[in-house]
DNA sequence: AATACGGGGGA
DNA sequence: TCCCCAGTATT
């Protein structure tokens, strides 16, 4: 069964490369085999759309042209450049990996999958991408695009977000990948998934694989890929205290774990199942209160209120730092904070 | 094996 | 609303 299936697809790469040569986007990281730049692009693009990550890629290349310059940077500056992109552990691991490359590998990136995957922030996908793109190692990439393409072509119903399903896809890809052009194969199959075999409204009516695609032959494209429902999000209530006299303002760096780790924000009092209005009423003098705003994360729905207050008990400022309002832009913050600062100047 | 971890775009 | 995005680390 498996052999027949793969025989049927033995000219897959030729067809794919033909499509790729006519349809590929011009992306900056495709013009280089410098592992530093490829690595940077791959970390930025983890769970991130190309359009969203592109400006960050340019900013990082400009601020840190080499792995040494990144390794020598202050972590807080790296966070600042990452601000707004999300999944902030990527910024921490980016910096950590750069230091390892410089201090342990003499500034030279590992030139193999097995070496690359030892670096923090580099998992199976990223190690496969870098080792194939830069060193022509035969390592198939398996990202969201590839999952979708393979599941439709072969009619695979194993949920793509279950770890156990990975082997099924990897086995197929290891047969399918062009052993002579692993870099082009990986680029092409991801690009095909991104711009042609899209999640919604795939271009099946003009598809090079019409004859071969299981999903198309059954007219069941929308049934693939199969995915198990994610767990429901939890709800939290954040009360932010805006404290400070004159040009001074108090902020705090979040802990090294949990959401928004190591990013800055106003002193926070989290409510239990509702906003802590009573507690705040009794404890501080409220000058002004914002409306509740909803901020959505993958696993949490956060309702936030901002309170301009005075006469705050010192215990609320435990671990906080006093900074000038004008220097707030120097501190890396999460989107909930930057959005508030953009839109609610009247509180400052 | 399951869960945590952002933010934004598109239907 | 819901789904998805060039996934990884932790539990």
Q: Nearest CA to A263 among A333, A340, A337?
A: A333
pLDDT of amino acid A231:
84
Q: What is the pLDDT along chain A (348 residues), one digit of tens a residue?
A: 455 555 666 689 999 999 999 999 999 999 999 999 999 999 999 999 999 999 999 999 999 999 999 999 999 999 999 999 999 999 999 999 999 999 999 999 999 999 999 999 999 999 999 999 999 999 999 999 999 999 999 999 999 999 999 999 999 999 999 999 999 999 999 999 999 999 999 999 999 999 999 999 999 999 999 999 888 899 999 999 999 999 999 999 999 999 999 999 999 999 987 777 766 666 788 899 999 999 999 999 999 999 999 878 888 899 999 999 999 999 999 999 999 999 998 888
> Which nt has its C1' nearest the CA of A163?
B1
In terms of domains, do A118 and A149 share one?
yes
A246 lies in some domain: yes
A255 CB and strand B closer than 7 A:
no
pLDDT of amino acid A237:
95
Separation between the CA of A177 and the C1’ of C9 (whole angstroms): 28
A144 CB and strand C closer than 7 A:
yes
A228 lies in some domain: no
Q: Considering only CA atoms, which residue is closest to the C1' of nucleotide B7?
A: A86
Domain final residue, candidates A197, A223, A249: A223
Domain range for A168: 2-223
Cβ-Cβ contacts under 8 Å for A242 (sequence gap 6 or more): A249, A266, A306, A307, A308, A309, A347, A348
Residue A42 annotated among the catalytic residues of the structure: yes
pLDDT of amino acid A35:
98
DSSP state of A311: S
DSSP state of A155: T
A191 lies in some domain: yes
DSSP state of A291: P
pLDDT of amino acid A1:
46
- Give the domain CATH number at A286: 3.90.79.10
A229 lies in some domain: no
In terms of domains, do A42 and A135 share one?
yes
pLDDT of amino acid A6:
57
Look at residue A322 and give its three-state secondary structure. strand
Domain final residue, candidates A175, A202, A223: A223
pLDDT of amino acid A316:
86
In terms of domains, do A125 and A156 share one?
yes
In terms of domains, do A205 and A247 share one?
no
Provide the pairing of β-strand A234-242 with A300-310: parallel
In terms of domains, do A44 and A156 share one?
yes
DSSP secondary structure string for all residues of A217-263: HTT-GGG-S--PPPPPPEEEEEEEEE--STTEEEEEE--SSSTTTT-
A24 lies in some domain: yes
A259 lies in some domain: yes
- Give the domain CATH number at A71: 1.10.340.30
Look at residue A106 and give its three-state secondary structure. coil
Cα A202 to the center of its chain, rounded Å: 24
What is the C-alpha R_g of chain A? 24
A216 lies in some domain: yes
pLDDT of amino acid A264:
98
A298 CB and strand C closer than 7 A:
yes
Q: How many domains does chain A have?
A: 2
In terms of domains, do A262 and A150 share one?
no
Residue A139's CB is within 10 A of a number of other CB atoms, namely: 26
In terms of domains, do A245 and A213 share one?
no
pLDDT of amino acid A24:
96
Angstrom CA distances, A269 to A239, A296, A335, stand at 5, 18, 18
A84 lies in some domain: yes
In terms of domains, do A139 and A281 share one?
no
Contact, A236 vs A303, CB < 8 A?
yes
Separation between the CA of A124 and the C1’ of C9 (whole angstroms): 12
Separation between the CA of A296 and the C1’ of C2 (whole angstroms): 13
In terms of domains, do A325 and A178 share one?
no
Q: What percent of chain A has pLDDT over 90?
A: 87
Contact, A160 vs A146, CB < 8 A?
no
In terms of domains, do A318 and A186 share one?
no
Residue A248's CB is within 10 A of a number of other CB atoms, namely: 11
pLDDT of amino acid A284:
81
In terms of domains, do A179 and A209 share one?
yes
Domain final residue, candidates A223, A250, A266: A223
Look at residue A80 and give its three-state secondary structure. helix
In terms of domains, do A217 and A340 share one?
no
Separation between the CA of A309 and the C1’ of C7 (whole angstroms): 41
**pLDDT tens digits, one per residue of A256-305:** 999 999 999 999 999 987 777 766 666 788 899 999 999 999 999 999 99
């Amino acid at each position: 069964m498996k052999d027949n299936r793969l025989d049927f697809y033995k000219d897959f790469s030729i067809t794919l490369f033909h499509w790729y040569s006519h349809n590929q986007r011009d992306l900056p990281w495709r013009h280089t085999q410098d592992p530093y730049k490829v690595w940077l692009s791959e970390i930025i693009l983890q769970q991130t759309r190309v359009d969203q990550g592109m400006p960050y890629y340019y900013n990082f290349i400009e601020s840190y042209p080499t792995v040494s310059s990144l390794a020598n940077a202050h972590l807080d500056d790296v966070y600042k450049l990452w601000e707004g992109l999300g999944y902030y552990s990527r910024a921490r691991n980016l910096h950590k990996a750069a230091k390892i490359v410089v201090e342990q590998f003499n500034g030279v990136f590992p030139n193999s999958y097995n070496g690359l995957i030892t670096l923090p922030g580099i998992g199976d996908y990223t190690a496969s991408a870098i080792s194939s793109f830069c060193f022509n190692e035969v390592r198939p990439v398996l990202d969201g695009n590839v999952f979708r393409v393979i599941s439709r072509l072969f009619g695979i119903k194993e949920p793509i977000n279950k770890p156990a399903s990975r082997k099924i896809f990897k086995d197929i890809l290891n047969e399918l990948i062009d052993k002579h052009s692993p870099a082009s194969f990986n680029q092409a199959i991801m690009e095909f998934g991104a711009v042609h075999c899209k999640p919604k409204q795939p271009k099946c009516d003009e598809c090079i694989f019409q004859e071969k695609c299981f999903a198309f032959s059954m007219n069941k494209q929308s049934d693939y890929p199969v995915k198990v429902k994610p767990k429901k999000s939890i709800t939290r209530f954040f009360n932010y205290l805006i404290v400070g006299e004159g040009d001074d303002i108090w902020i705090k760096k979040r802990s090294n774990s949990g959401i928004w780790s190591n990013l800055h924000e106003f002193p926070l009092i989290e409510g239990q199942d509702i906003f802590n209005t009573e507690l705040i009423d009794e404890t501080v003098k409220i000058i002004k209160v914002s409306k509740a705003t909803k901020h959505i994360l993958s696993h949490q729905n956060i309702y936030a209120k901002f309170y301009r207050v005075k006469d705050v008990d010192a215990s609320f400022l435990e671990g906080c730092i006093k900074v000038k309002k004008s220097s707030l832009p120097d501190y890396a913050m999460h989107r909930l904070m930057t959005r508030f600062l953009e839109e609610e100047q009247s509180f400052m």
